Structure 1
Amino acid sequence: MTQIIQSLEDVSAHYDAVLCDLWGCLHNGVEAFPDAVKALQSYRAQGGTVVLLTNAPRPEMFVAEQLDAMGVPRDAWDLIVTSGDAAQDAMLAGAVGRKVWHLGPDKDEGFFTAIPQAWAGQEGVERVSFEEAEGIICTGPFDEVNEVPEDYRPKLLAAKTRGMPLLCANPDIVVDKGETRIYCAGAIAALYEEMGGVSLYFGKPHPPIYDMARRKLAAHGLAEGVTLLAIGDGINTDVAGAAGEGMDVLFVTGGLGHDQFGPDVQNPDTALLEPWLAMRQQNPRYSVGKLR
């Protein structure tokens, strides 16, 4: 049975570092949540390390810029690890070929242009037309506000026929941007798999992003054996991924599932929460209405 707590401070003393999701926990894609910012600042002030672990399909520098624009102070976090970082490594290693077609919005241009120093001078990847491509790099729909995955069925059918693998840079299915729910790359990748295509994933809940987070923590001075707490609102990404890595999880019920656990978003109803978790075969150690 999950333990419902009132704030991160209730349990934070047991953990050397937290791996905190962004969308739905720290911000809603439009503005930051002040209470969540304060909770992370307080945790760091007490000696904890904050890793922002996000399925954003862009390298960390662009996520940092987005947080700056939202007014999230730099003293609320130590490190950023993105699905874009992990997927970019896979792309540059040639996971879907050296000639790729980009399915995604212009805002994800940095995925191709901000090459990590570790890959400098090595064989690159060329973006080409769909007709010339060996594989697909999917960072989301071209128009995330107005398009749905089914809009891409004809293109995906052609890709499957040609045996093109799809690298998904963001395994999330949907996120809430303000009051609008939008589809992510994960929804397109899932459709491609349903059609018989091959989709490759590197963000939550898949191991590569957690491996990258551990390596960055080690470089930051936290050796093996540190106690980690994952924080997130995605039951199939944040919670399932952390559980698969053997980490304790703080499930934020007031994110994607905010309308499932009673009228008071800050105080989830146990009678609704427990069967909902059981149906999804997940049992996060802690749950909280909103990160605070």
Structure 2
Amino acid sequence: MAKRIQNLNEVIGGYDVVLSDVWGVVHNGVEAFQHSCKALAGAREAGATVVLITNSPRPAPGVIEQMKVLGVPDGTYDRIVTSGDVTRHLVAEGPKKVFLLGPERDLNFFDGLDVEIVSKEDAEAIVCTGFFDDEKEVPEDYTDMLTAWVKKDVPLICANPDLIVERGHKMIPCAGAVAAYYEQLGGKTRVAGKPHKPIYDEALAIAREARGEFEKAKVLAIGDGMPTDVRGALSQDLDLLYISDGIHVAEYTVNGQTDEAILQSWLKSENAAPKFWMPRLA
């Protein structure tokens, strides 16, 4: 059973490295959670190395800029690894003619990669960073386009495995929802972000660069997403601090408050065993 904690300081003494999710833990896409930033800065002051591990399709420099705009203070973390970073390796190893399924602002994802951006008809691989318009669209809006690619056996490389994220007080679908639908239609997908192993390997390698060797038992993962943060951490045998007031909050909230019995029951039904939980990182 996950233990309820009030403060990250209660347990940080047992860990050398923190792998913290970003969207839903450090910010909500509109503003930074200052209490969470302080908690991570406090973990660093206590001697832990903090690596942010995010399913953002943007390479790290773009996420760093975004976090500054949202008000994440300097000193919150040591390093960052993004799904965009590790997905670029998949793209580099794949077909050279690619189509971007996602907003035009994500075209810089391809900077420095030896690929050609082509039309959907000429594509030998699809790189999905999200929706053309994530405020209005759902995966089913792309059925005709996706079905045509399935027939041609075109692989879809998913740069953001998240299904949904919280943007302010709205839930917004992500590239992972498109990838899941593509698989449902019979298509093949390639994914490197959470919950998959490549992003954890990269995060742990970056942590070793920053502080030297450490034991896996001394790594604490923090996150709010069941299919990504939770599944990923537990599949890598990492201790997990579950943040309950994230994308799954409706599953166990009664009269605006987390009902711990319902939360524990829900975690059990998901076959998930975080070591700790708290509503928001503090």
**Is 1:259 the counterpart of 2:250 in the alignment?**
yes
TM-superposed deviation, 1:224 = 4.3
**Is 1:290 the counterpart of 2:267 in the alignment?**
no
TM-superposed deviation, 1:41 = 1.0
CA RMSD of aligned residues (A): 1.3
Indicate the residue corresponding to 1:10 in structure 2: 10
Indicate the residue corresponding to 2:28 in structure 1: 28
**Is 1:98 the counterpart of 2:96 in the alignment?**
yes
TM-superposed deviation, 1:264 = 7.3
Match of 2:196 among 206, 215, 222: 206
Aligned with 2:249: secondary structure? coil
Instruction: State how far apart, in whole Å, the 1-side matches of 2:7 and 2:255 are.
Output: 15
Instruction: State how far apart, in whole Å, the 2-side matches of 1:148 and 1:99 are.
Output: 25
Aligned with 2:250: secondary structure? coil
102-111 vs 243-252, which deviates more? 102-111
What pairs up with 1:133-282 in 2 under 5 angstroms? 133-225=123-215, 227-263=218-254, 268-282=258-272
Q: Deviation digits for residues 185-237 of structure 1, max 9, x if unmatched?
A: 00000000001000111100000100111111122233142511000000111
Q: Deviation digits for residues 232-279 of structure 1, max 9, x if unmatched?
A: 0001110110101010000000011222323476x7322111110111
Runs of at least 4 residues of structure 1 off by over 6 A?
A: none
Indicate the residue corresponding to 2:42 in structure 1: 42
**Is 1:81 the counterpart of 2:81 in the alignment?**
yes
Aligned with 2:72: secondary structure? coil
Unmatched tracts of structure 1, length 5 or more: none
Q: Deviation digits for residues 143-186 of structure 1, max 9, x if unmatched?
A: 01111110011100000001100000010000110111111000
Instruction: State how far apart, in whole Å, the 2-side matches of 1:207 and 1:197 are.
Output: 21
Letter in 2 for 1:37: C
Instruction: State how far apart, in whole Å, the 1-side matches of 2:279 and 2:22 are.
Output: 15
Q: Deviation digits for residues 10-65 of structure 1, max 9, x if unmatched?
A: 11111101000011111000000111011011111111111110000010000000
Instruction: State how far apart, in whole Å, the 2-side matches of 1:107 and 1:56 are.
Output: 13
**Is 1:59 the counterpart of 2:59 in the alignment?**
yes
Letter in 1 for 2:72: V
TM-superposed deviation, 1:80 = 0.5
Q: Is the 8 A contact 1:252 1:290 kept in 2?
A: yes
What pairs up with 1:117-128 in 2 under 5 angstroms? 124-128=114-118
Q: Is the 8 A contact 2:49 2:210 kept in 1?
A: no
Aligned with 1:50: secondary structure? strand
Q: How many residues align?
A: 281
Instruction: State how far apart, in whole Å, the 2-side matches of 1:88 and 1:234 are.
Output: 23
**TM-score, normalising length from structure 1?**
0.93
Aligned with 2:144: secondary structure? helix
Q: Deviation digits for residues 48-94 of structure 1, max 9, x if unmatched?
A: 11111000001000000001111111200000000000001110122
Letter in 2 for 1:110: N
* Percent identity over paired residues: 45
Instruction: State how far apart, in whole Å, the 2-side matches of 1:49 and 1:221 are.
Output: 7
Instruction: State how far apart, in whole Å, the 2-side matches of 1:231 and 1:107 are.
Output: 29
Q: Is the 8 A contact 1:58 1:108 kept in 2?
A: yes
Q: Deviation digits for residues 100-131 of structure 1, max 9, x if unmatched?
A: 01100122122112x3xxx7xxxx11111111
Instruction: State how far apart, in whole Å, the 2-side matches of 1:218 and 1:110 are.
Output: 28
Indicate the residue corresponding to 2:109 in structure 1: 111
